[in-house]
Structure 1
C-alpha cells in the first residue's frame, strides 16, 4: 500500500512539474505587432485576438502590443523593420510581398478567386506552403494566413456602372506593380500610396477614388470622403502574418510553437470575422448614404476581359509549376462547390 501511494505521489508530482518545465521555457517579453489596418477592422480585431491567446498560453509572460493604422509605418516600411529585426510582427496583403518574393503576385491576379473556399484551399494547401518557404531567405517567417477579403472600387466623381466610367479617374492602389497594370488596363490613372495616407488624399482630392474590401472602407471611414462604390470584387486578398526571422531565431522551440499555434487559432477567428463583416459593411455603407452600384454580368465580363492580359503577364513571370498548382487547386475546389 505504501509503495502504491509513493507511486501515485510520484506520478502526481511529474504531472505537476511538466507544465512548469514547459512554462519555464517561456520567457517574459513584449512583442510589437503592427499593421496598416484601421482600428476596429477585422484585421486589427484578429491581432487583438492573437494577443489574448498568447497571453493565456504563456501564462501572462508574453505581452503582444498591437499597433494599428500604420502607427509604426506603412507596409513597405514595416517589412524593412522586420527584416532588420527592429520590429517583431506584422500582417499585410500577401500580394504586397511580390517585391521580395515575386510569386506572391499570383495571389493578386485580377478575378482569380470567386469564393472564400477557393482561397482556403490555396492558402492552407501546398501553394501556401511553397509561398511561405520563399519568405524565409528574405528574413521573414510566415506564421499564418489571414484575410482582408474581396476588394471593391469607390470614387467621389460619379457612379461607375460601366468600363468607360473609369476613364481618367485617379485611383489610389496598393504599392504593387500588378495593381498599377490592372487599373491602367481598365482606363484609370492608378496612384500607388500607403494606406494610412489614403483618407487625407481622398479628402483633399489628390486622388478621386480607391479600392478596398467593404469592411475596410467602413472602418477607415472612407465613406466620409467617398460618395460612390461599385461592387467589382476584382481581387481577393489573403493576408500573411509574419515574424522577423532575426527575432524568431532568438526564441526557444516552445515559444515558437506557442506563437505559431496562436496565429493559427486567431486566424480561424479572423477569417470568419472578415467574412461575416463583408456583407454587413455593404449594408452599413448604404445606410450611411453611399451610393452602391452592382455591375451587370455583361459589364463584369468586360472588366475581366480588359484585365486578362495583366493576369497573363504576371503568370508568365512566375514559377510555372506554382502557377499550374494554383490553377489546379482552384479548379478542383470550384468543381466541388
Structure 2
C-alpha cells in the first residue's frame, strides 16, 4: 500500500510539473513562473528540511514570486534512487545527492568522497572539491544529467546507532545495519563484518522494533529527529563518513531556465547550504546531549581502529576496479597538502 501511495504521488508530481519544466506556468507581470520541487528522506525539524524551507522562502522572495520551490520531506516521493531516476527522466525535481549515488550512475571516481574513514575533517573535503579534480567530477556529473546547483551542503558527520553496544569493529559482525542504497555505503559496512540492509529512513523505526535491522548510521541530528533513540540505545561516535552532499537538478531542466534564473537558483542554493551547515553544527551538539539524556549509551570509539578494520574496502575490486588508476593517491595527496 505504501509503495502504491508513493508511486501515485510521484505520478501526480510528474503530471503537474511537465508544463512547469517547459516554462508554461502562469505569468507574473509578464514573466513565466517556474515551479520546482526538492525531495528527500529527512524528517520535519531536521536541519536539511529546515534549509530546504529556507531556500524556498528566499528563492520566492528574490525572484519576485516567479520561482517557486516546494519541499517534500520524509520520503514522500520515494527513495533517493527513485528520486534520481525521476530527475534524470526530466522531472523538475532537485535531489540531495552524495558521491556514491553519482558513482552508481557512472561518475565512478566521485564515490571516493564517501569511502569509509578516509576523511578526518571538513577542511579536507573542502580542499578536495575546490581542486581541479573536484571541478572535473562536477562536470562529469552534469554530463550524465546531474547538474550540481550547490556543492556546499554538509549533511553531517555520520555515526552508528545500534540496539547492541559497539565499541570495536568486531562488535559489528553479523549486525544488520541500515544503509543507503548505494554500493559504496553498502560495502563500507560489509567490510567491517556487518550485514548492510538498504532501506528508506521512513522504514527504519519499525524495522528496528521488529528486529529487521539492528542499527543505522547517519548524522546525530537525523538520528534524533527520526526518534530512533527510542528503539536503539547505543551510539558509536565512529565518524565513518563526513557527508558532503550536492543538490542536483536535471541538466535538461536547468538548461531550460534563463541565465538569470540559473544564477538565482545557484546563489540561493549555496546560501541555503550555508544555512544548513550552521543548523547542522548546532543541532549535532544539542542532539548529542539529548540522546544522552534520553538514555542512549555513547561510546567514543577509536577512529584509527575502525579505519584499519575498513582497509579491505580499498582492496575491493568491485569498487576500486572502476576508479581511475592511482585515485586513492591522488585524493590523499590533495587533502594532505
TM category (shorter chain) comes to 0.7 to 0.9
Contact kept in structure 2, 1:35 and 1:92, CA below 8 Å = no
TM-score (structure 1 length as normaliser): 0.85
Aligned pair partner of 1:111 in 93, 96, 117: 117
Within-5 A mapping of 1:20-59: 27-59=32-64
Larger Rg: 1
> Taking structure 1 as reference, are residues 119 and 273 closer, same or farther at Cα in structure 2, changes over 3 Å only?
farther
2:100/2:110 contact within 8 Å kept: yes
Please give the residue correspondences for 1:8-157 in structure 2 after superposition, counting only pairs within 5 Å. Answer: 27-100=32-105, 101-145=107-151, 146-156=153-163
Does structure 2 conserve the Cα–Cα contact (< 8 Å) formed by 1:95 and 1:176? yes
What is residue 179 of structure 1 aligned with on the other side? 185
Distance 1:178 1:94, change over 3 A: closer
Please tell me whether residue 219 in structure 1 is matched to residue 219 in structure 2.
no
Q: Distance in 1 between matches of 2:124 and 2:285?
A: 18
Which is further off, 259-268 or 180-189? 180-189
Is 1:251 paired with 2:261? no
**CA offset at residue 149 of structure 1?**
1.5
Separation in 2, partners of 1:171, 1:266: 31
1:143 shift after superposition: 0.8
**CA displacement 1:203-252 (0-9 Å, x = unmatched):** 22111111111111011111122111111111111111011122212211
SS of structure 1 residue aligned to 2:196? strand
Moved more, 273-282 or 133-142: 273-282
What are the equivalent positions in structure 2 for 1:1-12 lying under 5 Å apart?
Answer: none
RMSD: 2.0
CA distance 1:71–1:161, shift in 2 (3 Å): same
C-alpha contact 1:32 1:89 (8 A) present in aligned 2: yes
The change in CA–CA distance for 1:311 and 1:29 in structure 2 (over 3 A counts) is same
Of 325, 331, 336, 1:331 maps to 336
- Per the alignment, in what secondary structure is the counterpart of residue 239 of structure 2? coil
Contact kept in structure 1, 2:177 and 2:216, CA below 8 Å:
yes
CA distance in 1, matches of 2:258, 2:180: 36
Cα pair distance change 1:287/1:74, threshold 3 Å: same
1:95 and 1:237 in contact (8 A); partners too: no
TM superposition shift of 1:45: 1.4
Q: 1:148 and 1:255, CA in 2 relative to 1: closer, same or farther beyond 3 A?
A: same
Q: In the alignment, what sits opposite 2:310?
A: 307
Count of paired positions: 306
Which residue of structure 1 lines up, in the alignment, with residue 25 of structure 2?
none
**Inter-partner Cα distance in structure 2 for 1:35 and 1:70:** 6
| TM-score (norm: length of structure 2) | 0.85
Q: Is the 8 A contact 2:117 2:306 kept in 1?
A: no
Unaligned runs of 5+ in 1: 1-22, 333-337
The answer to whether the Cα contact below 8 Å between 1:26 and 1:254 also exists between their aligned partners in 2 is no
**Structure 2 unaligned blocks of 5 or more:** 1-27
After superposition, the Cα gap between the structure-2 partners of 1:170 and 1:105, relative to the gap in structure 1 and judged at 3 Å, is: same
Measured in 2, the distance between the counterparts of 1:140 and 1:27 equals 24
Residue of structure 1 aligned with 2:204, choices 185, 194, 198: 198
Rounded Cα–Cα distance in structure 2 between residues aligned with 1:258 and 1:293: 44
Cα drift, residue 179 of structure 1: 2.4
> C-alpha deviations, 1:29-63, integer Å up to 9, x for none?
22111111222111111111211221121012211
Q: Which residue of 2 aligns with 1:3?
A: none
DSSP 3-state at the match of 2:97: strand
Higher helix share: 1
